[in-house]
Amino acid sequence: MNIERERAAHALRTIEQLPTDVKKYTSYVKALPASILRNGLGQAMATLLAASKGEAAMKNGGVNEAHRLLYNHLQAWLCRNDSAAPYPSEEEPAADSTELMSRITQGDEASYIRAQAEALAYLGWLKKFATAFRPEEKEAESESTP
C-alpha cells in the first residue's frame, strides 16, 4: 500500500471511531491547515493543547473534547510505529500524551518540515471524511449559513 492510501485508510478509521457527541470537530479540522501554514506545526499543535486545557481536561473526563481529539489524531499519525512516519514510535502514544510536542521541540529541522508536510496531507483526508461522515455537523453548519 502506498503512503497516500495509508493516510486515507488511517483517516477513515479515525473518523469512523470518533464519538458522536464530539462537537465542532469538523470545523477544527477545516481550520487547522491554515493555522499550520500561518504559524507552523508546533504553534498549531500547542494551540490545540491550550484550547483543550491540556492533561487536566483529559483527567476530568474531557476525552471527547474536539481540540484534544484532533491533537491525538495527528499525534497518532505522525508518531506511529512506521519508519515512514516523521517521528516514528515503537508504540502508539497514549491519549493523554504530549509526545508529538516533545518530538517537535526536540527534533531536527528536517523532521519538523517533513512532519508539517505530512500533517497537511493527513488533514486533507481527515477533512474530507469528517465532512462526509459527520452529517450532524454538516447540517449545523448549513443552518448557520445565510
Which residue bears the cell 449545523? 140
Per-residue model confidence (pLDDT) at position 145: 44
d(CA 78, CA 92): 10
Q: Which amino acid is at 134?
A: R
Instruction: Decide: 12 and 125 in contact? Cβ < 8 Å.
Output: yes
Per-domain boundaries in the chain: 3-134
Nearest Cα neighbor of 71 from 3, 123, 138 is 123
Concatenated DSSP letters of 105-118: HHS-HHHHHHHHHH
Per-residue model confidence (pLDDT) at position 129: 96
Per-residue model confidence (pLDDT) at position 136: 55
Per-residue model confidence (pLDDT) at position 71: 95
Q: Average pLDDT for consecutive 10-residue bins of the chain (146 residues)?
A: 93 93 90 97 95 59 75 95 90 83 95 97 97 67 47
Per-residue model confidence (pLDDT) at position 64: 52
Per-residue model confidence (pLDDT) at position 105: 95
Q: What is the pTM of this model?
A: 0.84
Nearest Cα neighbor of 32 from 76, 69, 2, 85 is 69
Please give the class, per CATH, of domain 3-134. Answer: mainly alpha
Per-residue model confidence (pLDDT) at position 42: 97
